[in-house]
């Protein structure tokens, strides 16, 4: 698809590649052009290549409510695709989760899923997966409800008897 000549930079004896200021995902590639002529011949034709970023899209919608028993490991999916690949972040009750802090218990998998090892009642919250790239943003929310006592506490109680 030819979008028109948006920007041109001419060099002598080499190919020139110029990015369009009006369409950042468009590059103009041309051979060198002889300025002594007013016409550009077929062999000097300009080729405009255009690619389009693809906004993030959920591959599979997660359940809106997830109920687990305390002590279970929890996996909250965030299965998205897009081009360029989306950057995934997570929020708990509208606060960003800092995966680089030494005081956090959350992990993020390569797939973008959030892992909560040994969940407890304090992990009950509204979690939001946000996937973003240059073409757009998509998000999905999961309400996590953690019920019961932690398994390790129950085991400790049994061993103490």
Both tokens of 59, joined, read 């591959």
Domain membership of residue 4 (yes or no) is: no
Q: What is the mean pLDDT of the chain?
A: 76
Q: Which residues span the domain enclosing 110?
A: 55-154
Cα–Cα distance, 154 to 37 (Å, whole number)? 87
Domain membership of residue 2 (yes or no) is: no
Per-residue model confidence (pLDDT) at position 46: 47
Span 133-161, pLDDT tens digits: 999 999 999 999 999 865 555 555 545 55
Say if residue 69 is in the same domain as residue 145.
Answer: yes
Per-residue model confidence (pLDDT) at position 160: 56
Q: Cβ contacts of residue 130 below 8 Å, gap of 6+?
A: 88, 89, 90, 91, 137, 138, 139
Domain membership of residue 78 (yes or no) is: yes
Which CATH number goes with the domain that contains 119? 2.60.40.10
Pair type for strands 125-133 and 87-92: antiparallel
Which residue's entry shows tokens 């109920």? 67
Span 85-97, pLDDT tens digits: 999 999 999 999 9
Helix (H) or strand (E) holding 156: helix 151-160
pLDDT above 60 for 32: no
Cα→Cα distances 64→5, 20, 56, 95, 125, Å: 48, 43, 19, 18, 12
């Amino acid at each position: 698809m030819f979008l028109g000549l948006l920007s041109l930079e001419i060099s002598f004896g080499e190919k020139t590649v110029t990015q369009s200021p009006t369409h950042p995902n468009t590059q103009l590639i041309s051979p060198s052009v002889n300025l002594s002529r007013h016409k550009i011949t077929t062999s000097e034709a300009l080729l405009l290549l255009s690619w389009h970023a693809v906004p993030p899209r959920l591959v599979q919608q997660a359940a809106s409510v997830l109920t687990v028993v305390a002590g279970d490991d929890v996996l909250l999916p965030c299965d998205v695709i897009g081009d360029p690949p989306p950057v995934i972040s997570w929020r708990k009750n509208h606060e960003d989760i800092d995966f680089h802090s030494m005081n956090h218990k959350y992990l993020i998998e390569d797939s973008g899923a959030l892992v909560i090892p040994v969940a407890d009642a304090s992990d009950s919250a509204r979690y939001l997966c946000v996937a973003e790239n240059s073409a757009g943003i998509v998000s999905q929310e999961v309400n996590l409800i953690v019920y019961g006592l932690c398994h390790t506490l129950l085991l400790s109680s049994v061993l103490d008897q």
